[in-house]
Structures are given as C-alpha cells and as structure tokens.
C-alpha cells in the first residue's frame, strides 16, 4: 500500500472546501473525502492488511481527521447559506427615493419630421393634405396624365424604372397619379398637397433608392398662372429653410404639364458661388412643375376652357438631406439606430 499522507490530504481537503462557492460544490467535495467511496473511507478499509498496532494508530488519526473535516464542512455550509440569505435581502431591498429608470422612447423619423413641417407650411397657405394608393393602375400613373404608351418611363424592360406587378397594376412611380384621383371626385377651385411613397427600379447609391417620398402639389382655379406658383414655392422655401432663399425657374418637359419647368434653389452651402455640394453650379435642382396640361383636365372630366392650374412634384428625401446635411439617401431606409437616434 502506498504511504498514507494524511497531512497532505488534510491540507488539500481544506483548500477545496475553502474554494467552493455553493452547496452543490460543497457536497461534491464532501463525497470526495467523506462519502462512502470517499478517500478517507478507502483508507479505513485498506487498514485491514496492516498489523494491529499500526492499524489502531492510523485508524484513530483518520477518524480524527474525519471529525475535523466534518466541522469544516458544516462551517462552510453555514457560510454559504448566510451569503445566499444576504443576496436575497439585497435584491428585495428597494430604494424608494432613487430616481426612476427612464424608458427609451421612440421618436419620429427624419422623413416624417420633414413631411410634417412641409404639410404645415402648405396648410397655412390654404392647401389640404390628401393621400392616395401606392399600388396603381396604368391609367392613373400614366394614361390619364397624358403619358403616351411608348414613353420610356413605361418600358417594362431595361429602360423603364416602373415596377410592374405580376397580378396587374404597378407600384406608383410618382405621386402625380393622385392628381387624377382627386379631380375625379372633387370640383375646383382647390389646393392640395399629396405626400407619399413612390417606387422605382434603381441601382442604389448615395442619391438613388428603390423607393422614396414625394410631395405633389396641385392648385386649380379660374385665373392661375406661373406667377402664382412662383409666389407659393418661394414662400415655401423661405419658411422651410427659415431664411431668404432664391429660386430660378428653367423650362423643362413633363407630358402632364404645359409649359413644364424645373425649380432650382440657390445653393445653401455657397450662396450661389459654386461649391462641391452644387457641383460648382451654384444651384440645386429641387422640383418639377408646370401648368396642368389640358389633356389631364380632360382625363379627370374638367373642361380645360374653364379651369387652369399648376402642379409640382418635389422629393422629400432630398429636402430632408439638405435640411439635416445628410449625404446618403440609403441611411433613411437602413434602420440603423446610430443614424436615427440623432433626430
């Protein structure tokens, strides 16, 4: 039999007892030393082979050690129980004077903030806010707006940017479709703005997305001219950016207006001198507009001899990017909280 080193055993058992953190662990250590098949029991059993005198001596030493360790185990068990009790008490203790934890509140998306601001400005100038469906028919999105069947925007293949649906219909490619929907059901005179999401087949980059937001405007009355449009859009920019801005009108073409024009805003970064924001031109393209085409009035059932009006379509994403100096449109749709939490 190997030499029995009770001193070492005692030392190790004590070390292990000390290290345990819970009752389960303590039980394991107990079994290892004092259990039926524990080390001390094994030693006692092996003593049979020894001569009587020696057996008695070692036997009493082992029993002494057993008693000693039992006490150590009991002490440790008490210690652990006491700690558990303390922990429970700590947990249950409530400091009613501590300030409450602030719940994380959601907030409006920057596009919504801008949409609301824009609506508010137009409402104060007598415009009503109207909405229309995102899924459209070719009639409302194209035909009724005087867009011919062979117009490139309608191309189902590579050229066109319209997203057609398998079941028929399409995702509206602009908010102009709501012009017709509104005029079908309402009589002039009126002023409306139509904010809404629109869809296009695009390769995305920092200024292109497969969906974005537009604000359509339509004012119809008996004596409306480009001068009315100019006054309203100038006032809008002044109120939106909160300072004196300058705009210019350029001739342009859209099938649903005649004449058609585009509105540029003087670059807010360089005041028209030319910088990287405006590609050195001093101006920023902001919206398409024009006087409503007689064929559009006819589509809606109005007599173009009596009624005149202007229409415009402006990108809300663009406006938001300018207001908050955001350089990538994709951030709006990324759901990235590092971006969103700044608003």
Q: Which residues bind ligand PHE (CB under 6 A)?
A: 174, 176, 254, 257, 288-290, 311-313
- Minimum separation from the CB atom of position 232 to ligand PHE (A): 14
- Compute the distance between CA of residue 143 and CA of residue 149 in angstroms, rounded to an integer: 7
**Helical spans, DSSP H, in the chain:** 6-19, 23-34, 39-46, 52-92, 110-124, 138-141, 177-185, 226-241, 294-300, 316-324, 337-340
Of 38 and 313, which CB lies nearer to ligand PHE in the complex structure? 313
Q: How far is CA 105 from CA 102, 109, 113, 117, 341, in A?
A: 9, 13, 16, 21, 11
**What is the CA angle 333-336-337, rounded to 5?**
130
> How far from 25 is each of 16, 18, 20, 40, 317, CA to CA, in Å?
10, 11, 6, 19, 62
Nearest to ligand PHE of 17, 261 (CB atom):
261
User: Which CB, 182 or 254, lies closer to ligand PHE?
Assistant: 254
Closest CA to 141 of 173, 167, 164: 173
Q: Considering the complex, state which of residue 69 and residue 178 has its C-beta at the smaller distance from ligand PHE.
A: 178
Smallest distance from the beta carbon of 277 to ligand PHE, in angstroms?
22
Q: How far is the CB of 145 from ligand PHE (least distance, A)?
A: 8
Contact 46, 1 (CB under 8 A): yes
Q: Buried b / exposed e across 291-313, counting CB within 10 Å, b at 16+?
A: bbbbbbbebbebeeeebbbbbbb
Q: Distance between CA atoms of 162 and 164, rounded to whole angstroms?
A: 6
Closest CA to 288 of 313, 315, 257: 313
Q: Which is nearer to ligand PHE, 20 or 176 (CB)?
A: 176
- Please, what is the minimum distance in Å from the beta carbon of residue 161 to ligand PHE? 10
Distance of CA 276 to the CA centre of its chain: 29
- The nearer residue to ligand PHE, 122 or 254, going by C-beta atoms, is 254
Q: Could you tell me which residues come within 8 angstroms of residue 162 by beta carbon, excluding any fewer than 6 positions away?
A: 141, 153, 154, 155, 156, 170, 171, 173, 200, 201
| Alpha carbon distance 25, 148 (integer Å) | 83
Question: Rounded distance, CA 267 to CA 241, Å?
Answer: 12
Minimum distance from residue 102 beta carbon to ligand PHE (Å): 43
Of all residues in this chain, which one has the CB nearest to ligand PHE in the complex?
313
- Closest separation in Å from C-beta 176 to ligand PHE: 4
Question: In whole angstroms, how close is the CB of 162 to ligand PHE at the nearest point?
Answer: 11
Report the nearest approach of ligand PHE to the CB of residue 340 (Å).
Answer: 27
């Amino acid at each position: 039999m190997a030499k029995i080193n009770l001193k070492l055993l005692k030392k190790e058992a004590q070390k292990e007892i000390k290290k345990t953190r819970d009752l389960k662990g303590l039980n394991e250590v107990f079994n290892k030393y004092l259990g039926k098949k524990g080390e001390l029991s094994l030693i006692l059993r092996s003593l049979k082979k020894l001569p009587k005198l020696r057996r008695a001596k070692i036997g009493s030493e082992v029993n002494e050690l057993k008693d000693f360790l039992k006490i150590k185990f009991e002490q440790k068990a008490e210690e652990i129980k006491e700690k558990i009790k303390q922990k429970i008490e700590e947990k249950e203790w409530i400091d009613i004077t501590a300030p409450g934890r602030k719940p994380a509140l959601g907030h409006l998306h920057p596009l919504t903030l801008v949409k609301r601001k824009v609506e508010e400005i137009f409402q104060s100038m007598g415009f009503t806010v109207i909405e229309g469906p995102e899924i459209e028919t070719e009639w409302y999105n194209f035909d009724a707006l005087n867009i011919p069947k062979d117009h490139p925007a309608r191309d189902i293949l590579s050229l066109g940017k319209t997203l057609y649906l398998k079941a028929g219909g399409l995702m509206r490619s602009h908010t102009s479709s709501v012009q017709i929907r509104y005029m079908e059901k309402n009589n002039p005179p009126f002023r409306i703005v139509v904010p809404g999401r629109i869809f296009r087949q695009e390769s995305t980059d920092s200024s292109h997305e497969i969906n974005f937001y537009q604000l359509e405007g339509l004012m119809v009355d008996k004596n409306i001219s480009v001068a009315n449009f100019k006054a309203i859009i100038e006032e809008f920019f002044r109120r939106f950016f909160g300072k004196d801005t300058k705009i210019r009108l350029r001739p342009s073409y859209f099938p649903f207006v005649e004449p058609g024009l585009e509105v540029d805003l003087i670059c807010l970064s360089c005041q028209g001198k030319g910088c990287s924001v405006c590609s050195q031109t001093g101006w920023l393209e902001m919206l398409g507009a024009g006087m409503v085409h007689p064929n559009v009035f006819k589509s809606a059932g109005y007599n173009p001899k009596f009624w005149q009006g202007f229409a415009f379509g402006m990108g809300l994403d663009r406006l938001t990017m300018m207001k908050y100096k955001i350089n990538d449109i994709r951030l709006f749709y990324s759901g990235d909280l590092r971006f969103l939490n700044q608003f």
